[in-house]
A and B are shown apart, each in its own frame.
Chain A
Amino acid sequence: MPHYTFLKFIWPSALAMLVFIALPIMSTSVQSLFIEHEKILETVENCTPFGCKEITKVDLEATEAQKAENPLGKFNGFGTYTNRNHLAFSELKQAWRESNGLNEFLAEVFNLPFYKALSFTLSYTFIVTPFVIIIGFFIALAVNRLPSFLKGPTIFVCLLPMIITPLIGSLVLFWMIDAEGIIGSFLQSIFNDPNLSLKASPTLTWIMLFVYGIWHHTPFAFIVFYAGLQTVPRDTLESAMIDGANRWGQTRHVIIPHLMPLAVFISLIQIMDNFRVFEPIIGFNAQASATSLSWLIYNDFRSGDGDMLFGSAAATSMLTIIGVSILMTPVIVRTWRANRPSQGVS
C-alpha cells in the first residue's frame, strides 16, 4: 500500500491516539513539575464595637487572578516527586537512620502513602496474575471434558464475572461479605465471633481484594485457554497416547507446550490490567487498609475543598507510567521479536 493511501486510512485513528493518549502523557509530565499557587493572604482590620482586630484571610480575588494568569501553578522542578506524598526521600533517610532493624524500617516505609499504594499494587498484580492463569487453565480443561450440550450454558455462566462492570462486581461481593451480608454473617457464625469483620482487618481486606481480582479475571484466562484447547493438534495427542502417555503425560508434554504462547499473552494483558487496579478499592470501600497507585491519583482529584492537586496527581501518574513501562518491557520486547516483519520493506 503506498504511503499516501496508508495515511488516508490511518489518520483518524492515529490522530485520536496522538491527541488523547500521547499528548496527555506529555501534559502530565509537564504538570508534574509544577505545583499549585499558594493562596494569597491579606490582612484586614476587623472592627467591632469592642475594638479592632487584625485578621488574616484568603484574598479570593487575587488568588483567582493568579490562577487565571498561570493555571499550571508555579514551577517546582522535581520537588513534588520527592515530597512526603511521593518518593519521600528525606522521610526514607530519616526512617533508615532512626529505626532499629529492617522490620521497623519497612513498617515506616509502608506508612508513606506512595509506598503503601505501590506495595498493594505490586502484590495485587503478582498474586492475582498467577492464580488467574492456573485456575483458568484448569477450568478450561474441565469445561473441555464436559458433554457438548452442557458446554454452552457453562461457558455463559463462567463468563459473567469477567463482563461485569468492575465497580458493580466488587459492590455485589462487598454486600455479601459485609458483616450483615450473607458471607459475613456466615463467617461470624463459623468462627463464633460476632465482631469479626473482613473490613476491619488490613490483612483480610487485602485477601478480599485478591479474591475479587481472581474472581473477576479468571474467566478471561479460561476462555483464552479454552479456545487454545480447540486447536491442539489431534494427531500429536494420539501419538502421545500410543507412546503410552497417560492423561497427565499428555497434558504435560502436549497441551501445556501448545498453550504456552497463550499463557504469555494472558500474563501480558493481566499485568497491564491488574497494575491499574482501582475500582475494587472504591467498591469495597477499602482505602483505609489498601490503596493503589490509580486510587492515589483519583484521590488527588477528589480531596480537599474542590482544589484538585494537579501537580501531585501528575507526579503519581508519571511514577505509575514508569512502573508500567518497567513491568511491560520484557513482554513488549518479546512481542516485538515475535511480530517483527521478516524483511524490512516488502
Chain B
Amino acid sequence: MNKKNSWLNILSLSFILLWVILASVPFLWTLWGSFKVESDFFSKQDWRNAIFGVRTIIETGGMFTTNGYEGAWIKEEFWRAALNTGIVTLSVVTISLTLGTLGGYALARSGFRYAFWILIAALIFRAMPHITLVSGYLLPFFELGLWGHLSTTIIVLVAINQPFTLWMLHSFFSTIPKDLDESAMVDGCTRFEAFRHVIIPVMWPGVITTGLFSFLLAYNDFAITALLLTEANQTMVPKIASFLGSAQEQGNVMFAVAAVVSATVPLFMLVMFFQRQIVSGLTAGAVKG
C-alpha cells in the first residue's frame, strides 16, 4: 500500500468516526441524562454535572434516579400511550401488509397498462404531505362521529401507507419468476390458489422488509395521531408533545426525557434485529425505483 492510499484511509476512517459520533452521542447523552435530575441534565453551572450527577446525588442520594420514568409512566400514565401505540402499529402493519401483498402481486402480474397508471397515481399520493390530507379528514370525521377513535387512525395510517407498500411489494413480486405461479395454474390451480400455495411461502423476505417500513411510519407518525386522536387515547409521540406543553412545571421536562428514551428503545431493537432486512429492502426499492 503506498503512502497516498494510507492517507486516504486515515481520512476516510476519521470521516466515518466523526459521523458515528454525530449519530450516536445524542442518544447516549439523552439515555444517560434521563437518569439524572433536571438541574443536572440542564445544568446552569457546569455541563459536567450531567455526567457526574452532582445535583442528583444531593437531591436523591444516588448517582441515578428513576424519578423521570416513574413520573412519566405512572403519574402521567405513559403506559396507556404505549399501549395505544402498540395497538395502532400492530394493526397498521398487519392490515397494510395484507392489502399490500394482494395489490402488489396483482400489479406485478397484470401486464395491462392500467397497472402502470395505478403505480404512477400511488407515486403522486406518496408525495402528498400527510397533514394536507388531515385537513380533508377532520370535518367529515367530526360530522360522521368517526373522530377520536383508534380504529379511524389505524385505517387512515393504513391508507397513507398503501402507496409505499404497493411500490415496494410490486418491485419485490416482480423479482419472483412468473413461471412459478403460472405453472401452478397450468396444473389446475386458480389464481388465488396459486397465490396461496406458491407465492405466500416465498414472499416473506419482501413482506418482512415492507412491514418494517410500515411499522416505522405508524410508530413515528405525529401529524395524524396528534390531530385525529382524543387526549384519552393518544399514542406515544403526541403524548410526548403534550408533556412539552406542560413543561413549565418543574420536573416535567424530565418526564419528557424519560418518555423519549422509552419510546426510542423499541426502534433500537428493531434496527438491531432487522438491520439486514432494512438495508436489503432499501436496495430493492432503490434499484428498481
Whether B130 pairs with A31 at a CB distance below 8 angstroms is no
Whether B124 pairs with A332 at a CB distance below 8 angstroms is yes
> Which of A85-93, A104-112, A220-228 makes up part of the contact surface?
A220-228
CB proximity of B236 to chain A, nearest CB, Å: 8
A265 beta carbon closer than 8 Å to chain B? yes
Mark each residue of chain A from 20 to 47: 1 if its CB lies under 8 Å from any CB of chain B, else 0.
1111111110010000000000000000
Whether A335 pairs with B222 at a CB distance below 8 angstroms is no
Chain A residue with the shortest CB-CB distance to B166 = A13
Among A10, A158, A314, point to the contact of B19 (Cβ < 8 A): A158
Known: A6-B115, A168-B240, A282-B222. A159 touches B271 (CB 8 A): yes
In chain B, positions 247-289 with a C-beta closer than 8 Å to chain A are 256-257, 260, 263-264, 267-268, 270-272, 275, 278-280, 282-283, 286-287, 289
Whether A1 pairs with B275 at a CB distance below 8 angstroms is no
Chain B residue with the shortest CB-CB distance to A3 = B112
- CA gap between A43 and B245 in the complex, in Å: 38
Whether A186 pairs with B19 at a CB distance below 8 angstroms is no
Whether A17 pairs with B159 at a CB distance below 8 angstroms is yes
- CA gap between A76 and B282 in the complex, in Å: 46
In chain A, positions 190-230 with a C-beta closer than 8 Å to chain B are 215, 218-220, 223-224, 226-228, 230
Mostly helix, strand, loop or mixed at chain A's interface? helix
- CA gap between A163 and B273 in the complex, in Å: 13
A134 beta carbon closer than 8 Å to chain B? no
B110 beta carbon closer than 8 Å to chain A? yes
A171 beta carbon closer than 8 Å to chain B? yes
Q: Indicate the member of A21, A143, A218 with the most B CB atoms within 10 Å.
A: A21
- CA gap between A181 and B282 in the complex, in Å: 35
Known: A165-B237, A167-B240. A28 touches B135 (CB 8 A): yes
Mark each residue of chain A from 306 to 333: 1 if its CB lies under 8 Å from any CB of chain B, else 0.
0010100110111011001100100010
CB proximity of B235 to chain A, nearest CB, Å: 11
Known: A1-B106, A13-B166. A247 touches B267 (CB 8 A): no
- CA gap between A332 and B127 in the complex, in Å: 10
A5 beta carbon closer than 8 Å to chain B? yes
Whether A12 pairs with B287 at a CB distance below 8 angstroms is no
- CA gap between A8 and B103 in the complex, in Å: 9
CB neighbours (8 Å) of A180 from chain B are 42-44
CB neighbours (8 Å) of B23 from chain A are 157-158, 160-161, 215, 219
B204 beta carbon closer than 8 Å to chain A? no
Whether A171 pairs with B282 at a CB distance below 8 angstroms is no
Known: A23-B136, A272-B127, A298-B131. A176 touches B26 (CB 8 A): yes
B227 beta carbon closer than 8 Å to chain A? yes
- CA gap between A152 and B142 in the complex, in Å: 48
Whether A301 pairs with B138 at a CB distance below 8 angstroms is yes
A9 beta carbon closer than 8 Å to chain B? yes
CB proximity of A99 to chain B, nearest CB, Å: 32
A53 beta carbon closer than 8 Å to chain B? no
Whether A317 pairs with B132 at a CB distance below 8 angstroms is yes
Whether B272 pairs with A293 at a CB distance below 8 angstroms is no
CB proximity of B184 to chain A, nearest CB, Å: 14
CB neighbours (8 Å) of B156 from chain A are 20
CB proximity of B249 to chain A, nearest CB, Å: 16
Whether A279 pairs with B222 at a CB distance below 8 angstroms is yes
CB proximity of A141 to chain B, nearest CB, Å: 7
A344 beta carbon closer than 8 Å to chain B? yes
Whether A175 pairs with B42 at a CB distance below 8 angstroms is yes
CB neighbours (8 Å) of B26 from chain A are 169, 172-173, 176
Among A143, A156, A300, A341, point to the contact of B275 (Cβ < 8 A): A156
Chain B residue with the shortest CB-CB distance to A211 = B22
A97 beta carbon closer than 8 Å to chain B? no
B180 beta carbon closer than 8 Å to chain A? no
Whether A335 pairs with B47 at a CB distance below 8 angstroms is no
Known: A9-B105, A12-B103, A142-B12. A293 touches B129 (CB 8 A): yes
CB proximity of B282 to chain A, nearest CB, Å: 5
Chain A residues close to B by CB (< 8 Å): 1, 3, 5-6, 8-10, 12-14, 16-17, 19-28, 31, 71-72, 135, 138-139, 141-143, 145-146, 152, 154-161, 163-169, 171-173, 175-176, 178, 180-182, 185-186, 215, 218-220, 223-224, 226-228, 230-231, 247, 262, 265-266, 268, 272, 275-276, 278-279, 282, 285, 293-294, 297-298, 300-301, 308, 310, 313-314, 316-318, 320-321, 324-325, 328, 332, 335-336, 339-341, 344-346
Chain B residues close to A by CB (< 8 Å): 5, 8-9, 12-13, 15-16, 19-20, 22-24, 26-27, 29-30, 33, 41-44, 47, 50, 98-100, 102-103, 105-107, 109-113, 115-116, 118-140, 142-143, 155-156, 158-160, 162-163, 165-166, 191-192, 195, 216, 219-220, 222-223, 226-227, 237, 240-241, 244, 256-257, 260, 263-264, 267-268, 270-272, 275, 278-280, 282-283, 286-287, 289
Q: Which 5 A-B pairs have the closest CB atoms?
A: A24-B136, A20-B159, A13-B103, A227-B283, A9-B106
